[in-house]
Amino acid sequence: MSDLFDVAITVNGILYEREVEPRLLLSDFLRHDLGLTGTHVGCEHGVCGACTILFDGDPVRSCLMFAVQAQGHEVLTVEGLGAIDDLHPIQEAFWEAHGLQCGFCTPGFLTTLVPFLEENPDPSEEEIRDAISGNLCRCTGYKHIVDAVKLAAEKMRA
Amino acid sequence: MKPPPFEYYAPTTVEEAVAHLAEHGYDAKPLAGGQSLIPMMNFRLAQPAILVDLNNIAELSFIRPEDDGGLSIGAMTRHQMVEKDAQVVERAPLINETMPKIATSQIRSRGTFGGSLAHADPSAELVAVSVALDGNFKVVGPQGERWVPANEFFLGLFTSVLEPEELLVEINLPPFPERTGWSLMEIARRPHDFCLIGVVAVLTLDEKDQCQQAKLVYLSAGDGPVEAHQAAELLKGQALTAEAIQAAAETAASADIDPSSDIHATAEFRRHLANVLARRALGEALERAISNTQ
Ligand SMILES: Cc1cc2nc3c(=O)[nH]c(=O)nc-3n(C[C@H](O)[C@H](O)[C@H](O)COP(=O)(O)OP(=O)(O)OC[C@H]3O[C@@H](n4cnc5c(N)ncnc54)[C@H](O)[C@@H]3O)c2cc1C
Ligand code: FES
Ligand code: FES
């Protein structure tokens, strides 16, 4: 095993201090070390988007970063978006518009959409499809997801 | 899968980073955005014993306008930052148009301008674009710095002139000449994917609106960026009529490039696309060159 590094990483507003091996992926750090299993792992090569988190506010693939690189940075995962009785408007919209079936892909869609809808409060369908083109869904189909994003935009504008 | 263990260094200066690379030679690799290197490590296609992380080197992230009208971009400047920069829109409109075509927002937030070039992927948009724009690359190693023109930087598939102990630190783009138009056209199965084939055209007109200089550089058409020299030669000094453009596009597709077949497309289909795309790209570059003279 290689040397361990001390890291202090803020995840969903909480500062976590841990020791990590440099090869530990940020996705595995979140899931295994912190028990935040809302971040899903599909492909581990940047293609499926299930592991998307917000890193200092930007959507990134947590499977394409090492946890050691997050030292001193802020991470937001799907767990930090809303609570069961207080959902984020995008979560509400996915629920109401049937934007998910199995839910495997959903955390990645939600985290991708937070900065997108903040920057584009009234996106066209084409812009929505472009924004979610880095997230694969294998069961819902994209029609309901696009509808959910439109509904989410409405809710966030209100 | 997971990457095998490696030693990790996160220097804060270029000098320190180069010292680490010099000490470890072929065992070490620089880590930029990690958007190409980490997938390869996760699949154990790459197993560097030592990673030298460039992400804490602040001096490598900048976009700087030059006095001559050109633009310099630091190697660690993220795709996302280049995409949103007003100086890039003004001084390097072709770069501005290229950025959104590179992968998706979640990759562009980490991937870097220099990483994309150092990786020397023949399908990477910036590789072909940097050749079409006559970019110059600043490389720093233990012996000091050297400048390498883009058309000499790429040696083949994922191979550049960079030695294992050298870093690409800066990319300089000369000023865009007057009466110049540009275009990047590509065909991908899904938007933001690596393309089946693509082409960059840059045309400069003389006072009589004839072609003074033409560049046509293909991506995903060989082991590196492929310049269509014969096609460009056909255009030089000519009036850019639809027939002249058609002839150049046909020459480019049939004589200048040598695409291969894979599960995504046959070589024949790629040649067909190469012809159509060159015609469209030259057409768009011409329109822009004309509107840039008014
Ligand atoms: C799903 C997906 C889709 C993508 N689609 C596209 C696409 O359509 N078009 C496209 O162009 N790219 C695409 N990419 C690649 C992306 O643009 C990468 O960011 C880029 O190719 C590499 O940049 P990086 O900063 O991530 O480099 P890294 O992955 O960190 O490094 C790549 C290589 O370059 C070396 N290196 C990096 N920086 C330097 C330096 N300064 N000096 C010396 N060596 C260096 C590294 O050692 C490594 O060998 C895609 C990536 C993914 C995961
Ligand atoms: S698991 Fe990270 S993109 Fe698929
Ligand atoms: S809801 Fe099942 S993969 Fe998207």
| Domain-embedded: residue B2 | no
- Looking at the partner chain, which of B4, B8, B39 has a beta carbon nearest the beta carbon of A46? B39
Q: What percent of chain B has pLDDT over 90?
A: 95
Same domain, B231 and B150: no
Predicted confidence band of residue B294 (pLDDT cuts 50, 70, 90): low
Same domain, B74 and B169: yes
Distance from C-alpha of A92 to C-alpha of B38, rounded to nearest angstrom: 34
Residue A62 CA: which ligand 2 atom is closest?
A: 2
Mean of the per-residue pLDDT values of chain B: 96
The residues with which A9 forms a beta bridge, in sequence order, are A16
Same domain, A67 and A93: no
Asked if residue B190 has pLDDT above 90, the reply is no
Among A31, A51, A80, identify where a domain stops. Answer: A80
The CATH number linked to B14 is: 3.30.43.10
- What integer pLDDT is reported at residue B191 of this predicted model? 80
Check if the beta carbon of residue A19 is closer than 8 Å to that of residue A9: no
Among B173, B199, B220, identify where a domain stops. Answer: B173
Distance from C-alpha of B99 to C-alpha of B91, rounded to nearest angstrom: 14
Diameter of chain B by CA atoms?
A: 63
Taking CA–CA distances from A60, the nearest residue in chain B reads: B106
Among B173, B198, B220, identify where a domain stops. Answer: B173
Provide the number of structural domains found in chain A.
2
Q: Which residue range is the domain that position A55 belongs to?
A: 5-80
Distance from C-alpha of B107 to C-alpha of A55, rounded to nearest angstrom: 12
Same domain, B110 and B38: no
- Looking at the partner chain, which of B7, B106, B110 has a beta carbon nearest the beta carbon of A49? B106
Closest CA to A81 of A68, A71, A70, A94: A94
Check if the beta carbon of residue B57 is closer than 8 Å to that of residue B15: no
Task: Give tens-digit pLDDT for B114-157.
Answer: 999 999 999 999 999 999 999 999 999 999 999 999 999 999 99
Same domain, B120 and B199: no
Task: Give tens-digit pLDDT for B278-289.
Answer: 999 999 999 999
Q: Locate the DSSP E strands across A21-77.
A: 52-55, 58-61, 74-76
Same domain, A53 and A97: no
* Coil, helix or strand at residue A92: helix
Same domain, B24 and B70: no
DSSP B15-36: HHHHHHHHHHGGGEEEESS-TT
Instruction: Determine the distance in angstroms separating the CA of A157 from the nearest CA of chain B, rounded to an integer.
Output: 23
Same domain, B147 and B208: no
Ligand 3 pocket check: which of A102, A113, A132 to mutate, most ligand atoms within 8 Å of Cβ? A102
- What integer pLDDT is reported at residue B60 of this predicted model? 98
Chain B residues within 8 A (CB-CB) of chain A? Answer: 1-8, 10, 34-35, 38-39, 42-43, 51, 53, 55, 80, 103-107, 109-110, 190-192
The CATH number linked to B228 is: 3.30.390.50
Interface touch B2/A28, C-beta < 8 Å: yes
Instruction: Determine the distance in angstroms separating the CA of A158 from the nearest CA of chain B, rounded to an integer.
Output: 26
Same domain, A140 and A99: yes
A32/B contact by beta carbon, under 8 A = no
Please give the backbone phi and psi of residue B252, each rounded to the nearest 5 degrees, phi first: -55, -50
Task: Give tens-digit pLDDT for A92-130.
Answer: 999 999 999 999 999 999 999 999 999 999 999 999 999
Check if the beta carbon of residue B44 is closer than 8 Å to that of residue B3: yes
| Domain-embedded: residue B281 | yes
Q: Which residue range is the domain that position B168 belongs to?
A: 58-173
The tokens for A47 are 């293609």
Same domain, A153 and A115: yes
Among A80, A99, A132, identify where a domain stops. Answer: A80
What value does the mean pLDDT take over residues B16-42? 97
Same domain, B38 and B126: no
Asked if residue A1 has pLDDT above 60, the reply is no
Instruction: Determine the distance in angstroms separating the CA of A60 from the nearest CA of chain B, rounded to an integer.
Output: 4
- What integer pLDDT is reported at residue B193 of this predicted model? 85
Provide the number of structural domains found in chain B.
3
Task: Give tens-digit pLDDT for B99-117.
Answer: 999 999 999 999 999 999 9
B271 contacts: CB under 8 Å, gap ≥ 6: B253, B254, B257, B259
Same domain, A11 and A68: yes
The tokens for B50 are 């030592």
| Domain-embedded: residue B141 | yes
Residue A63 CA: which ligand 2 atom is closest?
A: 2
Taking CA–CA distances from A62, the nearest residue in chain B reads: B106
Same domain, A97 and A137: yes
Task: Give tens-digit pLDDT for B256-276.
Answer: 999 999 999 999 999 999 999
Reported ipTM: the value is 0.95
Among B140, B173, B206, identify where a domain stops. Answer: B173
What value does the mean pLDDT take over residues B25-33? 96
Check if the beta carbon of residue B64 is closer than 8 Å to that of residue B84: no
- What integer pLDDT is reported at residue B241 of this predicted model? 97
* Coil, helix or strand at residue A81: coil
The residues with which B168 forms a beta bridge, in sequence order, are B139
B241 contacts: CB under 8 Å, gap ≥ 6: none
Task: Give tens-digit pLDDT for A6-47.
Answer: 999 999 999 999 999 999 999 999 999 999 999 999 999 999
Same domain, A95 and A64: no
Same domain, B195 and B156: no
Chain centre to alpha carbon of residue A32? 16
Same domain, A94 and A76: no
The tokens for B272 are 């067909």
| Domain-embedded: residue B169 | yes
Please give the backbone phi and psi of residue A45, each rounded to the nearest 5 degrees, phi first: -135, 25
pTM here is: 0.96
| Domain-embedded: residue B153 | yes
Task: Give tens-digit pLDDT for B53-85.
Answer: 999 999 999 999 999 999 999 999 999 999 999
Same domain, A14 and A74: yes
Same domain, B41 and B78: no
HSE (side-chain half, CA atoms, 13 Å) at A143 = 0
| Domain-embedded: residue B1 | no
Distance from C-alpha of A147 to C-alpha of A88, rounded to nearest angstrom: 16
Same domain, A17 and A51: yes
The CATH number linked to B167 is: 3.30.465.10
* Helix-, strand-, coil-residue percentages of chain B, each rounded to 5: 40, 25, 35
Same domain, A61 and A29: yes
What value does the mean pLDDT take over residues A65-86? 97
Closest CA to B199 of B232, B227, B241, B234: B227
| Domain-embedded: residue B130 | yes
The CATH number linked to A11 is: 3.10.20.30
| Domain-embedded: residue B34 | yes
Ligand 1 pocket check: which of B36, B112, B166 to mutate, most ligand atoms within 8 Å of Cβ? B36
Diameter of chain A by CA atoms?
A: 53
Taking CA–CA distances from A45, the nearest residue in chain B reads: B39
